[in-house]
Amino acid sequence: MNHTAYLLLGSNLGDRVATLHRALVALAEQAGKIVAVSSVYETAAWGFEAQPAFLNQAVQFSTALSPEALLGACQQVEQEAGREREELWGPRTLDVDILLYDEVVLDQPRLVLPHPRLPNRRFALVPLADLAPNVMHPTLNQSVQQLLANCPDTLPVEPWLGDL
């Protein structure tokens, strides 16, 4: 059985565009079929703001993987991109977050679904709204578009105008 998962890709070190592209290819090989991708957005760093801006992109996947197996695939792709987990919210070559997975609600030490900080992050909600504005958050009973309208985060999220 296939499941619908929404992922957020982010990069703020190295060739950010190439990193996002390679991540899409690797995720398609390891995790399932890409159904849709959002525009790319340049976003201010969140949490630890004294670092380069990110490029972020949301991706809709059709996957046969369980949430835990999908997390493993995402972390493998991050590692292949040179991700080092040195500081919370620090700079990174690649970050892949599972935002939503069907209507699954999960609270485990390694994985919480839906992503617990999704309602508070414009950098995730703006690209996700490109793909799924009417998808409902399974615990808040609000659409992605409603979450974006109510998001307290005011950091800038701008369409990327560079070369893709």
Q: How many domains does the chain have?
A: 1
Q: What is the CATH number of the domain that holds 96?
A: 3.30.70.560
Choice between 130 and 1, residue whose per-residue pLDDT is larger: 130
- Options 92, 121, 122, 153, the catalytic residue: 92
pLDDT in tens, 101-158: 999 999 999 999 999 999 999 999 999 999 999 999 999 999 999 999 999 999 999 9
Domain assignment of residue 97, yes or no: yes
Domain assignment of residue 164, yes or no: no
Range of the domain at 106: 3-159
Domain assignment of residue 29, yes or no: yes
- Options 16, 95, 121, 153, the catalytic residue: 95
Predicted confidence at residue 161, as pLDDT, reads 85
Active site residue 122: no
Average pLDDT over residues 49-62: 91
pLDDT in tens, 10-29: 999 999 999 999 999 999 99
Domain assignment of residue 96, yes or no: yes
Instruction: State yes or no: pLDDT of 91 exceeds 80.
Output: no
Active site residue 95: yes
Domain assignment of residue 120, yes or no: yes
Neighbours of 77 (CB within 10 A): 23
Distance CA 97, CA 74 (A): 8
Active site residue 107: no
Query: Cis before residue 114, ω within 30 degrees of 0?
Result: yes
